[in-house]
Amino acid sequence: MKSFLLFLLTALLMAGCGKARPKEIPQWNMNEPSAEPEPSESPSADASADPSQDAPNGRTEIPDYTDMVLMYGYSHHRKPYEWTRDIMKDYVLYQDPDGQWHWLFDAFLCLEFMSVDGPNGNKTFVSGYKHNGSYLESAAKDDWEGLLDYYCQANTGIGAIDAAVAQGAKSLGEPERKRQIIICIPEPIPYRFNNYGQDQTGGTTYWGALDGEQLDFSKTADRLKALKWYVDTAIRKFEKRKYAHVELGGFYITAERATFITDILKQLGDYVTGMKYSFNWIPYFKADGFHTWKSFGFSHAFMQPNYFFSEDIGKDRLVDACQTVLKYGMGMEIEFDGKAMQSTGWGYRLRDYMKYAQDYGVWEQCRLAYYQGSWAVRWLKDSAVAEDRQLYDDFCQFVISRPIRDTH
């Protein structure tokens, strides 16, 4: 019965888009420069918005999305290092076996936890991360700004997403809503070397200065000041690019539990949502603070089931996760990585996520986030193994046919 309903729903969606939906494949000219202009020092159009609006940028409401893919980038250990248009088209668009093109994800989370082999050495944006067995030094102001510069590019990063949407629109027409860009916010880690209890050294004034004063991360007020600077800087850098097909939809707090950031969350959340940007969080399974996520000022929170990564975790974890997110009004994260390939044999666990999300109503009702390791969606698509390609098609159909996409 579910298969028939999915078929019927897909047919209705295609009918609603017109009888002559184009089949031609968008052409991807990798040598073509971006259609978007280079950065300008002149104020963006938003800067002169009507001051009577609810937010300084003229927005009256927080933009919404339904399907957000996690895109890791900035650390040099990630290969390829840059997001190109050729890569990003596989996350913006999906071509089904009949040759029809579809919009795939409608939101893109620009995310990073660490910077390895970078210009400032090895750093972490979240407490407790290791590289080669050693805890990493906390990222400072220059690292935070470097992260934003990596994302806010004309031809790579967000610029590549923008260009991919532009190319897709030549065949599909513009999507009803601009694709949403969600930018991660680093954790303001109190100590230069900080593993909460095992190593708290290097002082608390390592981050840098604002307004001529060195910030002290032992003080909540200074940590919050740094975070507001980061949000403001992200907005400014994004607006200077004048992207045509994507918009800055919100921000994401990188820490996956509330334990060490409860002193700043609500104030930061109010600051972000007060400007009509979404404030997003993806705690791991039942992490500290998950059930009180609304009290921290978040617009959207997603539960990580953490089922995919260990065969010691049974399917009852997915049942628990689905019931929990429905109880607390959360979204859920669908998780997989390169182990979903047929050569490794863990694709069945991704299928379990899809099955239980559908069986328990999460697929129909909830926002979803998609953890796909490095580039697992693309690896499945480009695989010469029929089983991999089938999993890719089934996954993309799972995304594009969700009823919630028509109501948001």
Rg (CA), the chain: 21
d(CA 326, CA 41): 46
Torsion of CA 313, 316, 317, 321, to 10 degrees: 170
How do the domains of the chain map onto residue ranges?
A: 63-406
Rounded alpha-carbon distances, angstroms, from residue 1 to 4, 5, 168, 203, 404: 5, 6, 33, 62, 20
Report residue 252 as tokens. Answer: 């994401």
Give the E-state strand segments of 142-230 in sequence order.
179-185, 193-194, 200-201, 209-210, 213-214
Assigned CATH for 63-406 = 3.20.20
- Predicted pLDDT of residue 407: 67
Nearest-5° angle of CA 330, CA 275, CA 278? 20
Confirm if 332 and 357 have CB atoms less than 8 A apart: yes
Please provide the DSSP assignment of 347-401 as one string: HHHHHHHHHHHHHTTHHHHS-EEEE-TTTHHHHHHH-S-HHHHHHHHHHHHHHHT
The residue among 156, 157, 127 whose CA lies nearest residue 139 is 127
Burial (0-12, 13-18, 19+ Cβ within 10 Å), 349: buried
- Predicted pLDDT of residue 57: 76
Give the E-state strand segments of 58-156 in sequence order.
67-72, 93-95, 101-103, 107-111, 114-118, 121-124, 130-131, 134-135, 137-138
- Predicted pLDDT of residue 13: 37
Nearest-5° angle of CA 256, CA 69, CA 308? 65
- DSSP-derived letter for residue 313 is S
- Predicted pLDDT of residue 54: 58
d(CA 321, CA 315): 10
- Cα of 156 vs its chain's centroid, Å: 16
- DSSP-derived letter for residue 164 is H
Please count the other Cβ atoms lying within 10 Å of the Cβ belonging to residue 51.
7
- Predicted pLDDT of residue 195: 79
d(CA 10, CA 97): 14
Report residue 154 as tokens. Answer: 């004309």
d(CA 310, CA 317): 11
Confirm if 285 and 324 have CB atoms less than 8 A apart: no
Give me the tens of pLDDT residue by residue for the chain, a chain 408 residues long: 444 444 434 443 333 333 233 334 344 443 343 333 333 333 233 333 333 345 777 889 999 999 999 999 999 999 999 999 999 999 999 999 999 999 999 999 999 999 999 888 999 999 888 888 888 999 999 999 999 999 999 999 999 999 999 999 999 999 999 999 999 999 999 999 987 767 788 999 999 999 999 999 999 999 999 999 999 999 999 999 999 999 999 999 999 999 889 999 999 999 999 999 999 999 999 999 999 999 999 999 999 999 999 999 999 999 999 999 999 999 999 999 999 999 999 999 999 999 999 999 999 999 999 999 999 999 999 999 999 999 999 999 999 999 999 765
- Predicted pLDDT of residue 44: 33
